[in-house]
Amino acid sequence: MGHEGIGRVAALGEGVSTDFSGQPLSVGDRVVATYFQACRRCPECNNGHGNICRNAYTGWSTPSDVAPHFFGTFGTYYAVGPNQAVYKVPDEVSSKAASSANCALSQVYYGCLLGEVSYGDKVVIFGAGGLGVCASAVASTLGAEVFVAEMAPSRLDKVKEFGAKHTIDLSQAADGNGRVQMIKDATGGGADVVIDLTGVPSAFSESVRSARAGGIVVEIGNISPNKFTDFDPGLFTRTGVQIRAAIRYPLEVLGKAVQFIADTPHFPWESLVDADYTLDQVAEAVAAAESRQVTRAGIVIGD
């Protein structure tokens, strides 16, 4: 929470007249901004990989008594830095709908690009939370046959509203072998693309085993180091499965995500925010999200 903000431009810095895509920008326009920066100076940025900028989170822990003071969106203002990307939100997209663009939708949009998802692919998505719902929308729009696998069956209804053709209740399996077999049975031998969003280490190895020979696995959910799981390198080598990591996303992807929302009004984007809170209810919102009383809590500040 707190990194997926949308707001109105209160002031423009010197020389700023457009958003990152070149659209004219004025005070009062609604915008979204990347929750990280690409410094354009580190080796990763210079090699064209701004999504893994080693300075991506510089300033996140800066105290609020240091100018320009507003380093996060839990406030009445938010100062966007020169190394972040800002995109104007189209008039036809509500603020609540646009709040899913960064990071949930942008992250899985990039994941689908990395996975080379295309028409007719069988795509298995591990996890039916906010990212899983967005991934289902993107993959299905690209023409894929989408399977969403989840341990909590209560989450599976929502993905059907966002393009999933099949759901797999993994809680019915006794162990990892059973979960992999369920997926292989459902897909007819394995998925063309597997996207793991769970953050569970064992799901990573199960994702690799769930892909067909020559398939692609995109890992997004496991972002915390020093967590381990069993892995069979011989199986990996013999099947020719490709593993690709999607951490954050290229700056231009946020603009594509916003446009994707505008282009797909048949998906109920606003429903992804299932509870609204005021600024003075931030602690309550965080507690509700931590306890999973709500899936996505929205903090509404002003209009």
What's the per-residue H, E or C state across the chain? CCCCCEEECCCCCCCCCECCCCCECCCCCEEEECCCCCCCCCHHHHCCCHHHCCCCCCCCCCCCCCCCCCCCCCCCCCCCCCCCCEEECCCCCCHHHHCCHHHHHHHHHHHHHHCCCCCCCEEEEECCCHHHHHHHHHHHHCCCEEEEEECCHHHHHHHHCCCCCEEEEHHHCCCHHHHHHHHHHHHCCCEEEEEECCCCHHHHHHHHHHEEEEEEEEECCCCCCCCCCCCCHHHHHHHCCEEEECCCCCCHHHHHHHHHHHHCCCCCHHHHCCEEEEHHHHHHHHHHHHCCCCCCEEEECCC
- Domain holding 149, by residue range, is 110-245
pLDDT above 90 covers what percent of the chain? 81
Q: Is the pLDDT of residue 5 over 90?
A: no
pLDDT band at 72 (very low <50, low <70, confident <90, very high): confident
Mean predicted lDDT score pLDDT of the chain: 94
The tens digit of pLDDT for each residue in 99-158 reads: 999 889 999 999 999 999 999 999 999 999 999 999 999 999 999 999 999 999 999 999
CATH number (domain holding residue 193): 3.40.50.720
Distance CA 301, CA 77 (A): 9
Kindly report, residue by residue over 268-294, the tens digit of the pLDDT. Answer: 999 999 889 888 898 998 898 888 778
pLDDT at position 193 is: 99
Contact of 101 with 267, CB cutoff 8 Å:
no
Amino acid 1: pLDDT: 57
Inside any domain, residue 160: yes
The reported pLDDT for the residue numbered 63 is 82
Q: Is residue 148 part of a domain?
A: yes
Residue 207's pLDDT is what?
98
Tokens of 121: 């692919």
What are 180-194's pLDDT values in tens digits?
Answer: 999 999 999 999 999
Q: Are residues 176 and 129 in the same domain?
A: yes
Q: Are 164 and 136 in contact (CB under 8 A)?
A: yes
Are residue 123 and residue 200 in the same domain, yes or no?
yes
46 alpha carbon, distance to own chain's centre = 24
- pLDDT, residue 224, reads 95
Residue whose C-alpha is closest to residue 217's, from 190, 178, 186 = 190
Indicate if 267 and 284 belong to the same structural domain: no
> Quick one: pLDDT at residue 303?
65
Residue 252: how many other CB atoms lie within 10 Å = 16
Residues 39 and 138 in one domain: no
Structural domain count, the chain: 3
The pLDDT of residue 135 is: 99
Q: What is the pLDDT of residue 184?
A: 98
Q: Looking at the structure, do residues 155 and 261 belong to the same domain, yes or no?
A: no
Higher confidence at residue 207 or residue 68? 207
Which residues 6+ apart lie within 8 Å of 136 measured at CB?
Answer: 125, 146, 148, 159, 162, 163, 164
Mean pLDDT for 224-243 is 96
pLDDT tens figures, 40-55: 999 999 999 999 999 9
| Cis previous bond, 68, omega within 30 | yes
Q: What is the CATH number of the domain that holds 12?
A: 3.90.180.10
What pLDDT shows up at residue 40? Answer: 94
So what's the pLDDT on residue 299? 85
Residue 188 counted as domain residue: yes
Do 279 and 226 share a structural domain? Answer: no
Q: Give percent of the chain above pLDDT 70.
A: 99
pLDDT at 103: 85
- Per-residue pLDDT of 23-38, as tens digits, reads 999 999 999 999 999 9
Q: 1 lies in a domain?
A: no
pLDDT score at 12: 96
